[in-house]
Structure 1
Amino acid sequence: MPEASAVYRLGLDVGGTNLRLGVFSDLALVEETRFQANYSAICKQYPPTQAWQTILQVTAEAIQPLLDKYTGIAAIGIGFPGFIDPNTGVLAQSPNLPGLREVNLGHDLSGLLGVNVRVENDANAAAYGEYCQLGQPAGGLLYVGLGTGVGAGLVVNGQVWAGHHGYALEAGHIIVVPEGRLCGCGNHGCVEQYASATGISQAYADLTGQTRTARDIAQAADSGDIDAQTVYADAGSKLAQMLASVLKVVDVENVLIGGGVAAAWSLMSAAFHQRLEHDLIPVLRGKIKVHITRSGDVAGMLGAALLAA
């Protein structure tokens, strides 16, 4: 049973097909639950207004049992995919959630639940969670999350850098293949179309004519499937190409790779490091520490919870 006097924080990480909810005491995860919620499918099934109301109801339904159990929770943090204004909390657009524009999840959920809700870009939340778990490294942290899409966040001197409009570090939409695959953001050739789970699945389909999940493709690669190995190597190379460009601008010491696709890092690592070393400017070569997350994807929930508090 929760301690009556304990201070708890609640953080949500919105994924492609489910919500992950974590209750924290300081940095320690006290309880984690998952809730089936395919926001992308909802957005495709309903008109925008109906889709938004459905998303609100589903999210509130997921949260309420934890609020009932941990009565001391005073604020909720949510890591949400999309372009979020840090001053107003308004979601301008979400490339992977078609039709959602100019909506305010924090404001609307606060009204439903009676608890203050803060919404942060999901990659920013994960970046902050990883930064805190790494002991707040002085050299700063650039986080890259490889999931349904590719997100990134930058933390320097204990602060998430979101930029003036809140859309900084949208590194998943850096173009690595001119006139390449159409991306949900409207451009062509974004790294998200090659290094995310969705991109890996599409690359394999283009190469073989077979539709498989990124996880299945990774298993095939481990079993010797040359096409699967090629797709993952290309994903690693494209990721490094993007990172080399970003690092020339932000110049941090630590890069952390997270998200579900990072579980297959052994298939991407060689091509990644070869391309990164090639594309970095000479003065940065050998000075960048690349880490693979060991948080078990807890960082997104943790970062959201800490930022809300």
Structure 2
Amino acid sequence: MSSLYLGVDVGGTNLRFGVFDAAQCIASYRTAMNLRERCAQAGEAAAAQQLVLEALAGGYHRLRQQCPQIDGIGVAFPGFVTADGVLRQSPNIPHLEDFALESALTEALQVPVVLENDANAAAFGEFWSLRQERPDATSLIYVGLGTGVGGGWIQGGRPWRGEDGAAMEIGHLTVVPGGRRCGCGNQGCLEQYASAQGLISSYLETTGMNADPKIIAQLAQDENPAALRAFQTLAEHLGQALAHVIKVLDCRQIRVGGGLSAAWDCFGEELRTQLRSNMIPALQDTVEIAAGNGDDEAGVRGAALLAREVLSA
């Protein structure tokens, strides 16, 4: 029997679990859980850490009833993840600074765990899909638009973390100096304009009304001016930020995933326009940007495949 690996994709408002035989998901589980609110309510680091461990263990034990032999676990978590599996900070989930999540979960479950930044894991999942079409591909930039804005870079076939786990934190590039306050402590971060909450804030500033991103997307499809402007703001700032990233990394493939990518028709063309207009002229027609794989499994698949690669080496 081939080895089975569990992939876990931790979001600010939900958890996804999938057991993979190679790249094929054979069992899955998803649950709504607002970790941002629950960890904030926990009030202290120890309680928040225990809450996270219990949530991850719960999904593991549920799927283990279907797949008793899980050989390893890959966890995709939002935040700054070091090479030794420590979560340095999660800007959107409070009280988790310097949390040795990889070793704590390994000890709790008695199964080897590999911890990775959520966008890096999703990038690896998207890269796997790209390689099915283009076996010679070696690099890819991924940006995930959800509760926050995450970025991942695959270089030489592997995620690039940087020295302190903070590489490709594109969501915390300053795009509006002195702009909206961000959970990381700075102001004007891309995350405050291109995430789900950023879209809501842009719509609120124009209309004075709160609305769910799905409603804003529907309004945009109906040519509502305020909704169209909110998506234009997203595309303007994301296109500018990605153009700067391309100037540094010189990568030719970009994939956009996360929950907001479902509204790609509302901002995709404007994003391409903004990216091109902010690029060095010589590079303007060399970059392919597209919505990510539509099966919604990039994060869990990438986490599981990374765990398989690391633990079977």
Tell me the TM-score normalized by structure 1.
0.95
The answer as to whether partners of 1:42 and 1:55 remain within 8 angstroms in 2 is no
Amino acid at match of 1:308: A
Amino acid at match of 1:304: A
The answer as to whether partners of 2:207 and 2:226 remain within 8 angstroms in 1 is yes
Give the corresponding residue for 2:126: 130
Give the corresponding residue for 1:67: 64
Does residue 7 of the first structure (1) align with residue 3 of the second (2)?
Answer: yes
The answer as to whether partners of 2:19 and 2:27 remain within 8 angstroms in 1 is yes
Using the TM superposition, name which of 69-78 and 146-155 deviates more. 69-78
Q: SS at 1:303's partner residue?
A: helix
Q: SS at 1:95's partner residue?
A: coil
The alpha-carbon deviation at position 71 of structure 1 amounts to 2.1
Using the TM superposition, name which of 158-167 and 239-248 deviates more. 158-167
The answer as to whether partners of 2:240 and 2:275 remain within 8 angstroms in 1 is yes
Output the CA distance in 2 between the equivalents of 1:178 and 1:303.
34
The alpha-carbon deviation at position 145 of structure 1 amounts to 0.6
Does residue 235 of the first structure (1) align with residue 200 of the second (2)?
Answer: no
Output the CA distance in 2 between the equivalents of 1:190 and 1:100.
21
Q: Which runs of 5+ in 1 are unaligned?
A: none
The alpha-carbon deviation at position 295 of structure 1 amounts to 3.6
CA RMSD of aligned residues (A): 1.3
Output the CA distance in 2 between the equivalents of 1:140 and 1:103.
30
Give the corresponding residue for 2:15: 19
Output the CA distance in 2 between the equivalents of 1:137 and 1:149.
31
Output the CA distance in 1 between the equivalents of 2:207 and 2:100.
42
Does residue 93 of the first structure (1) align with residue 89 of the second (2)?
Answer: yes
Using the TM superposition, name which of 265-274 and 11-20 deviates more. 265-274
Does residue 116 of the first structure (1) align with residue 109 of the second (2)?
Answer: no
The answer as to whether partners of 1:151 and 1:172 remain within 8 angstroms in 2 is yes
Output the CA distance in 2 between the equivalents of 1:33 and 1:253.
34
Does residue 170 of the first structure (1) align with residue 169 of the second (2)?
Answer: yes
The count of residues paired between Structure 1 and Structure 2 equals 304
Give the corresponding residue for 1:269: 268
Q: SS at 1:134's partner residue?
A: helix
Give the corresponding residue for 2:35: 39
Structure 1 residues 26, 295: CA separation in 2 closer, same or farther (over 3 Å shift)?
farther
Tell me the TM-score normalized by structure 2.
0.94
Amino acid at match of 2:68: T
The answer as to whether partners of 2:12 and 2:93 remain within 8 angstroms in 1 is no
Give the corresponding residue for 1:156: 155
Q: SS at 2:8's partner residue?
A: strand
Output the CA distance in 2 between the equivalents of 1:155 and 1:13.
18
Q: Which runs of 5+ in 2 are unaligned?
A: 309-313
Q: Deviations over 1:192-215 (max 9, x none)?
A: 100111110111112111111111
Output the CA distance in 2 between the equivalents of 1:125 and 1:227.
34
Aligned pairs for 1:216-295 (under 5 A) are: 216-295=215-294
Give the corresponding residue for 1:201: 200
2:80 is matched with which residue: 80, 83, 104?
A: 83
Using the TM superposition, name which of 147-156 and 65-74 deviates more. 65-74
Q: SS at 1:124's partner residue?
A: helix
Q: Deviations over 1:73-121 (max 9, x none)?
A: 11100100001111x2111111101221111221111111111111100
Output the CA distance in 1 between the equivalents of 2:86 and 2:248.
27
The alpha-carbon deviation at position 267 of structure 1 amounts to 1.2
Output the CA distance in 2 between the equivalents of 1:105 and 1:257.
27
The alpha-carbon deviation at position 59 of structure 1 amounts to 1.6
Give the share of equivalent positions with the same residue, in percent. 42
Q: Deviations over 1:143-182 (max 9, x none)?
A: 1111111001111221111111121000111111111100
Q: Deviations over 1:212-255 (max 9, x none)?
A: 11111111111232101110111011110000000000001101
Give the corresponding residue for 1:143: 142
Q: SS at 1:69's partner residue?
A: coil
The answer as to whether partners of 2:40 and 2:94 remain within 8 angstroms in 1 is yes
The alpha-carbon deviation at position 139 of structure 1 amounts to 5.0
Amino acid at match of 1:45: Q
Output the CA distance in 2 between the equivalents of 1:271 and 1:137.
29
Q: SS at 1:19's partner residue?
A: strand
1:103 is matched with which residue: 82, 88, 99?
A: 99
Using the TM superposition, name which of 258-267 and 243-252 deviates more. 258-267
